Amino acid sequence: MAEFTMELNDEQKEVRDWLHGFAADVIRPAAAEWDEREETPWPVIQEAAKVGIYSLDFYAQQYFDATGLGIPMTMEELFWGDAGIALSIVGTGLAAVGVLANGTEEQIGTWIPQMYGDANDVKVAAFCSSEPDAGSDVASMRTRAVYDEAKDEWVINGTKTWATNGGIANVHVVVAVVDPELGSKGHASFIVPPGTKGLAQGQKFKKHGIRASHTAEVILDDVRVPGSCLLGGKEKLDARLARAREKARKGGERVKNAAMATFEASRPAVGAMAVGTARAAYEVALEYAQTREQFGRPIIDNQGVAFQLADMRTAIDAARLLVWRASWMAINGKPFTAAEGSMSKLFASETAKKVTAQAIQILGGNGYTREYPVERMHRDSAIYTIFEGTSEIQRLVIARTLSGMPIR
């Protein structure tokens, strides 16, 4: 087990500087254009693939970093560049992690390469879980998967929403209900291969922020996938469902929700995204305050501005420390006895919203225009308190963990 440290090692610093250079030289110059176009920035993703950032190998290296700091470091630097473009680059990772966590070795080897493609023909993947009536409340999911034993196929019907890369993905990973009586424990994940009949993109959302990231509904109408597309295989699913039924019979409804526990472990990565956006806005505001003069002196000489910057930097550093702690705990198997994963996501996301708003205030009228990036950063920051569990859900998870109540 790696000791907790607040200092990156030499190899991590080298990777961080490499990512920062890509974010500064490639992502930032393209940010305003793709925000206005509200389209997937395929040329930027291709550049990321060419240098090795958009690849399974790179994310696997960071994911298995024994210190736990590889992923948060990566997220912070890319989202420092631009949240919308960064989400387009890392969005495929949501689906890839779903396969890595639940799939067999054969499924991992077959499908994950098809999610990324290669530098000459980049692909993306989509993880489809949320539904119009089931966001944080995963137990209310309605998308159904029914097994056709005669053909060894699963038939999937339902509507997914808020799917990053939904409809444009080469590979979709879809979470569906296989046993409605078991609630969230009766769910399973399926690969929907490219070109499968019955899968279609629904509404593409025109969003307040992260506009360069494609977000849409995914419609599944009698989608048939081979039995081999059930992640983990049917034998494993049947065994898991049998255990869940036995627990339910014995009062297993008080067992912690497995999906919520999984989200708890992944939330620090979202916190790191928020830290990157907050840091970017703070740096713009700091430079502006040092160079902008009013009444014959830089505005940072005014206590009202200087104190805001002090609070902004303090909150950003505190958020990063919470994210790093939770990330280290997750990789080293430390139990989140106080919902430390949710703590990191809650504090970092709220910090991003506040810091980006303060940056606009420091820039004054300029901050409210699209000539300066803090306006876009403020719009982007709003998503952090919403996706992967709203701030209200984070507080609920933390409170229930502290009280010993089950997380549903």
pTM: 0.92
Between CA 225 and CA 162 the distance in angstroms is 22
Arithmetic mean of pLDDT, 227-245? 92
Q: Angle at Cα 340 formed by Cα 337 and Cα 341, nearest 5°?
A: 120
Query: Given 3, 38, 388, 392, which residue is catalytic?
Result: 388
User: Residue 45 maps to which CATH number?
Assistant: 1.10.540.10
- Rounded mean pLDDT of 338-367? 97
Regarding whether 387 and 339 lie in a shared domain, the answer is: yes
Domain boundary among 71, 105, 122: 122
**232/269 same-domain check:** no
Do 100 and 129 belong together in one domain? no
Distance (Å, rounded) from C-alpha 29 to C-alpha 25? 7
Q: What per-residue confidence (pLDDT) applies to 257? A: 46
Interval 197-204 mean pLDDT? 97
- CATH number of the domain that 311 lies in? 1.20.140.10
User: pLDDT of 282-330, one tens digit each?
Assistant: 999 999 999 998 999 999 999 999 999 999 999 999 999 999 999 999 9
Residue 245 in contact with residue 362, Cβ under 8 Å? no
Q: State residue 256's pLDDT score.
A: 45
Task: Tell me if 3 is assigned to some domain.
Answer: no
Q: Is 3 known to be catalytic?
A: no
Q: Is the dihedral of CA 287, 355, 351, 274 positive or negative?
A: negative
Residue 57 has pLDDT above 60, yes or no: yes
User: Is the pLDDT confidence value at 251 over 90?
Assistant: no
Phi, psi at 121, each rounded to 5°: -150, 75
Is it the case that residue 157 has pLDDT exceeding 90?
Answer: yes
263 and 397 in a common domain: yes
Nearest to 164 by CA among 211, 126, 201, 116: 126
Residues linked to residue 145 through DSSP beta bridges, in sequence order = 156
Question: 352 and 273, same structural domain?
Answer: yes
CA–CA distance, 172 with 211 (Å, rounded to integer): 21
Residue 255 has pLDDT above 50, yes or no: no
CB under 8 Å to 361, separation ≥6 — which residues?
A: 308, 367
Average pLDDT over the chain, rounded to an integer: 92
Backbone angles phi, psi at 204, to 5 degrees: -95, 130
pLDDT of residue 137: 64
Residues 263 and 399 reside in one and the same domain: yes
Instruction: Please say if the pLDDT value at position 334 is more than 50.
Output: yes
Contact indicator for 178, 241 with CB cutoff of 8 Å? yes
Confidence (pLDDT) at 253? 47
Task: Provide the token pair at 351.
Answer: 């910090």
In total, how many domains does the chain have? 3
Question: What backbone torsions phi and psi does residue 369 show, to the nearest 5 degrees?
Answer: -100, 165
Task: Identify the CATH number of the domain in which residue 225 sits.
Answer: 2.40.110.10
Residue closest to 322 by CA, chosen among 89, 68, 134:
68
Looking at residue 258, what is its pLDDT? 45
As beta bridge partners, residue 146 has: 155
Judged against a pLDDT cut of 70, whether residue 254 lies above it is answered with no
Strand partners, 224: 155
Q: Is 351 inside any structural domain?
A: yes
- Could you count the other beta carbons within 10 Å of the beta carbon of residue 10? 7
**308 vs 314: CA distance, rounded Å:** 10
Residue where a domain terminates, one of 246, 270, 292: 246
Q: Residue 220: beta bridge partners?
A: 158, 199
Same domain, 399 and 291: yes
Cα separation, 152 vs 224, whole angstroms: 10
Paired tokens of 91: 């969005």
Establish if 408 belongs to a structural domain: no
- ∠ CA 203-206-212 to the nearest 5 degrees? 110
Range of the domain at 205: 125-246
**What is the predicted pLDDT for the residue at 3?**
82
Residue 253 lies in a domain: no
φ/ψ region of 27 (left if φ > 0, alpha if ψ in -120 to 50, else beta) reads alpha
User: With the C-alpha atoms ordered 182, 183, 184, 186, is the resulting torsion angle positive or negative?
Assistant: positive
Is 118 among the domain residues? yes
DSSP tag of 134:
B
- Res. 261: pLDDT tops 70: no
Do 325 and 371 lie in one domain? The reply is: yes
Question: Do residues 315 and 236 share a domain?
Answer: no
Residue 109's contacts (CB-CB under 8 Å, 6 or more residues apart) are none
The predicted structure's pLDDT at residue 404: 85
Among the three residues 88, 103, 122, which one is the final residue of a domain in this structure? Answer: 122
**115 and 136 co-located in one domain:** no
254: left (phi over 0), alpha (psi -120 to 50) or beta: alpha
pLDDT in tens, 369-408: 999 999 999 999 999 999 888 999 999 999 999 998 766 5
**DSSP one-letter code for 313:** H
Domain-located, residue 4: no
Round to whole Å and give the CA distance between 206 and 213.
10
Q: Is residue 2 part of a domain?
A: no
Residue 233, in any domain of the structure: yes
Residue 2 — pLDDT band, cuts 50, 70, 90? Answer: confident
Same domain? For 275 and 387 the reply is yes
**pLDDT beyond 90 at 205:** yes
Shared domain check, 240 and 112? no
Nearest to 372 by CA among 285, 256, 261: 285
Select the more confidently predicted residue: 252 or 378: 378
Average pLDDT over residues 25-38: 97
